[in-house]
Structure 1
Amino acid sequence: MDESKVIVKSKFPYRLGFGLLFGLLGWLIPYLGVNSTLLPAKIQQIAPNEKVQIIAVLATIAMVVATIANIVEGALSDRTVSRLGKRNPWIIFGMISTLICFFFLTKVTTITGIIINWSIFQIALNMMVAPIVAFIADKSPKKYRGSISAFYGVGMNIGTPVGTIIASQYLTNINIGIYIFMGLEVIFTITGLLLIGDGSNKGEKVKKLSGSELLEAFIFPIHGDVRDFYLAVFGKLLFVSAQFVITGYQLYIFIDYMKLSSTNATHNLSIMSVILLITGVSFAILGGPLADKFHSLKLLVAVSTIAMGLGVVIPAIDPAPWTMFIYAGLSGAAMGMYNSVDQALNVSVLPNPNNAAKDLGIVNLANSLGQVLGPIVASIIIGFSGYRMMFPAAGIMCLVGAGLILMIKKVR
Structure 2
Amino acid sequence: MASNETPTTAPSTHEWSGTTSDEQQPRLPIRLVIGLAIGAFCWIVAYLGAVGVLLPARIAEIAPADKAAVVALNSTISMIVAAIANILIGAGSDLTRSRFGRRTPWIWAGAVGSLLSLTVLGHVQSVPALVTTWAVYQVFLNSIIAPLLGTLSDRVSPQFRGTAASGYALGNGLGTGLGQVIGAQFLGNTATGLLVLGGLTVLVAPATSWFFRESSSVDMPKRPFTKDMVLDHFVFARHNARDYYLALLGKFFVILAKFAIQGYVLYILTDYMLLGEDDSSRYISIISLIIMVAGIVMAFVAGPVADRLKLIKLPVIVSSLLIAVGVLVPFFSATPMMMVLYAVIAGTGLGMFNAVDQALNIAVLPDPDTAAKDLGILNLANTGGQIAGPLVAAAAISAFGYHMLFVVASAAALVATLLFALIRSIR
Give the structure 1 partner of residue 244 of structure 2. Answer: 229
Stretches of structure 1 lacking an aligned partner (at least 5 in a row): none
Give the structure 2 partner of residue 219 of structure 1. Answer: 235
Structure 2 counterpart of 1:369, from 384, 388, 391: 384
Rounded to whole Å, the distance in 2 between the matches of 1:107 and 1:259 is 39
Give the structure 1 partner of residue 111 of structure 2. Answer: 95
Does the 8 Å contact 1:280/1:332 carry over to 2?
Answer: yes
Instruction: Go from structure 1 to structure 2 and tell me whether the alpha carbon gap of 1:369 and 1:114 turns closer, same or farther (over 3 Å shift).
Output: farther
Does the 8 Å contact 1:63/1:372 carry over to 2?
Answer: no
Give the structure 1 partner of residue 253 of structure 2. Answer: 238
Aligned pairs for 1:57-206 (under 5 A) are 57-108=73-124, 111-171=127-187, 174-206=190-222
Instruction: Calculate percent identity across the aligned residue pairs.
Output: 38
Does the 8 Å contact 1:165/1:269 carry over to 2?
Answer: no
More displaced 10-residue stretch of structure 1: 160-169 or 42-51: 42-51
Rounded to whole Å, the distance in 2 between the matches of 1:312 and 1:52 is 28
Q: How much does 1:23 deviate? A: 0.9
Rounded to whole Å, the distance in 1 between the matches of 2:157 and 2:180 is 34
Give the structure 2 partner of residue 277 of structure 1. Answer: 292
Structure 2 counterpart of 1:336, one-letter code: G
Structure 2 counterpart of 1:402, one-letter code: T
Q: How much does 1:301 deviate? A: 0.6
Q: How much does 1:388 deviate? A: 6.9
Q: Residues 6-38 of structure 1: CA distance to partner in whole angstroms, max 9, x if unpaired?
A: 999422210010011101111111112322344
More displaced 10-residue stretch of structure 1: 106-115 or 84-93: 106-115
- 2:315 aligned with 1:300: yes
Rounded to whole Å, the distance in 2 between the matches of 1:45 and 1:339 is 35
Structure 1 counterpart of 2:211, one-letter code: L
- Partner secondary structure for residue 351 of structure 1: coil
Does the 8 Å contact 2:40/2:169 carry over to 1?
Answer: no
Does the 8 Å contact 2:111/2:203 carry over to 1?
Answer: no
Instruction: Go from structure 1 to structure 2 and tell me whether the alpha carbon gap of 1:5 and 1:80 turns closer, same or farther (over 3 Å shift).
Output: closer
Give the structure 2 partner of residue 39 of structure 1. Answer: 55
Aligned pairs for 1:17-28 (under 5 A) are 17-28=33-44
Rounded to whole Å, the distance in 1 between the matches of 2:303 and 2:401 is 39
Q: Residues 263-316 of structure 1: CA distance to partner in whole angstroms, max 9, x if unpaired?
A: 887765544433222111111211112211222211211221222233334566
Q: How much does 1:362 deviate? A: 1.3
Rounded to whole Å, the distance in 1 between the matches of 2:64 and 2:265 is 16
Q: Residues 151-193 of structure 1: CA distance to partner in whole angstroms, max 9, x if unpaired?
A: 1222232232222333345555544443332222223443233
Q: How much does 1:134 deviate? A: 0.8
Q: Which is bigger in relative contact order (C-alpha 8 A, separation at least 6)?
A: 1
Stretches of structure 2 lacking an aligned partner (at least 5 in a row): 1-5, 9-22
Instruction: Go from structure 1 to structure 2 and tell me whether the alpha carbon gap of 1:114 and 1:253 turns closer, same or farther (over 3 Å shift).
Output: farther
Structure 2 counterpart of 1:65, one-letter code: V
Does the 8 Å contact 1:67/1:369 carry over to 2?
Answer: no
Rounded to whole Å, the distance in 2 between the matches of 1:302 and 1:132 is 25
Instruction: Go from structure 1 to structure 2 and tell me whether the alpha carbon gap of 1:156 and 1:321 turns closer, same or farther (over 3 Å shift).
Output: farther
- Partner secondary structure for residue 82 of structure 1: coil
Rounded to whole Å, the distance in 2 between the matches of 1:379 and 1:37 is 23
Does the 8 Å contact 2:36/2:168 carry over to 1?
Answer: yes
Structure 1 counterpart of 2:389, one-letter code: G
Aligned pairs for 1:313-324 (under 5 A) are 313-314=328-329, 324=339
Q: Residues 59-118 of structure 1: CA distance to partner in whole angstroms, max 9, x if unpaired?
A: 333322222111111011101011221111111111122222222332345555443333
Rounded to whole Å, the distance in 1 between the matches of 2:268 and 2:185 is 18
Structure 2 counterpart of 1:344, from 355, 359, 383: 359
Structure 2 counterpart of 1:25, one-letter code: F
More displaced 10-residue stretch of structure 1: 332-341 or 252-261: 252-261
